[in-house]
Amino acid sequence: MNKIKRIASILLAVILSVVALAGCGGNNEAKDNSKKEMQELTVGLMPDIDSVPLIIAQEKGYFAEEGLKVNLQQFKSAMDRDSALQSGNLDGAISDMLAVAFAKSGGFDVKVTSYTDGNYRLVASKDANVEKLQDLAGKDVAVSKNTIIEYITDQITVSQNMSEDSINKVVIPQIPTRLEMLQNGKLAAATLPEPMGSIAIGNGCKLITDSEALGINPGVMMFTAKSVNDKKAELQAFYRAYNKAVKYLNETDSKEYMDLVISKSGFPESAKDILKLPKYREAGLNAEKDIMECLNWMKKKELIKQTYSYDEIVVDLNK
């Protein structure tokens, strides 16, 4: 009997040891899974103030704190940025609603994952006899055709009960050329993104109004549908880092980071003492009104044929 008891005790000890080892193995496996490296994100930037939080998140190590590697690529033209996105070289980019709609209508599925905090300014030449928007009736105003610049310009005119064709739109795609012609008095006015608008004003041109004053917010962060589906955890980490950068920018004297921003953003050196960055918002989704107004404008201009719903355009990464 004692022999049977000893055997039973030995068997029980063996069983408990196996169970314990299995438990340890499970814990180690869980730890290994928790430490699984996230995939790299490649994101396209433009030389505008929308991109600043991403530059700060990179340079201050906020992406690294989240265990995420982000490759930020600078582009000087929206065309080059969109080509890189559609060729698979980017996961996402700082962009705008027009670029999103053009991509979708061309059969390339992208999603808006948040708004951005850019600003577009309608600026009059210092030599033009212009004090208010109505003074631009019949005068040359430089835009880039079928872009966010033209959309903002049309929204500004309509907001002041003027027709879209009450001004003479002059198509000048290159922003530096537009700025130079404005400053040289060859145009009555031009619509410019920041920081180019501030540079023009700093050089004596006159601000008429801007998208911020009118509450127009067409700037977005977009990612490919594939990245949204395959890299959700990475995108959530991306936005946690983004929000850390927003907090830093809003709570820190600009003198501490402006040199860094100028060197990494592609902004002209002349922007350093002129540029005033906005109060950035933590990541959030564009209002349905902002999305649909832009899509309706594009449909009216026959730039797109399809009608998209808000849910076809925007995705909530927290769901």
- The structure's pTM equals 0.82
Q: In this structure, are residues 308 and 98 in contact, taking their beta carbons and an 8 Å threshold?
A: no
Question: Does residue 27 sit within a domain?
Answer: no
CATH code assigned at 77: 3.40.190.10
Domain extent at residue 204? 120-214
State the pLDDT at residue 21: 44
Q: For residue range 289-319, list pLDDT tens digits in order.
A: 999 999 999 999 999 998 899 999 999 998 8
Same domain, 160 and 178: yes
Picking from 149, 183, 214, the residue at the C-terminal end of a domain is 214
13 in any annotated domain: no
Task: Count other Cβ atoms within 10 Å, centred on residue 115.
Answer: 22
Q: Domain for residue 54, yes or no?
A: yes
In order, the DSSP letters of 116-165 are ----EEEEE-TTS--SSGGGGTTSEEEE-TTSHHHHHHHHHHHHTT--TT
Residues 113 and 225 in one domain: yes
Instruction: Decide which of 214, 237, 263 is a domain's last residue.
Output: 214
Residue 34's pLDDT band, with cuts at 50, 70 and 90, is very low
Asked if omega into 173 is within 30° of 0 (cis), the reply is: no
Interval 162-187: pLDDT, tens: 988 899 999 998 888 899 999 999 99
CA 260 – CA 81 distance, rounded (Å)? 23
CB proximity list for 87: less than 8 A, separation 6 or greater? none
Higher pLDDT, residue 25 or 51? 51
Q: Convert the pLDDT of each residue in 67-104 to its tens digit.
A: 999 999 998 788 888 899 999 999 999 999 999 999 99
**Rg of the chain in Å (alpha carbons):** 26
Most confident of the ranges 28-42, 205-219, 235-249: 235-249
Q: How many domains does the chain have?
A: 2
Within-domain flag for 143: yes
In a domain, 293, yes or no: yes
Burial label for 126, CB within 10 Å (0-12, 13-18, 19+), is middle
Same domain, 131 and 199: yes
Given 168, 197, 214, the domain boundary residue is 214
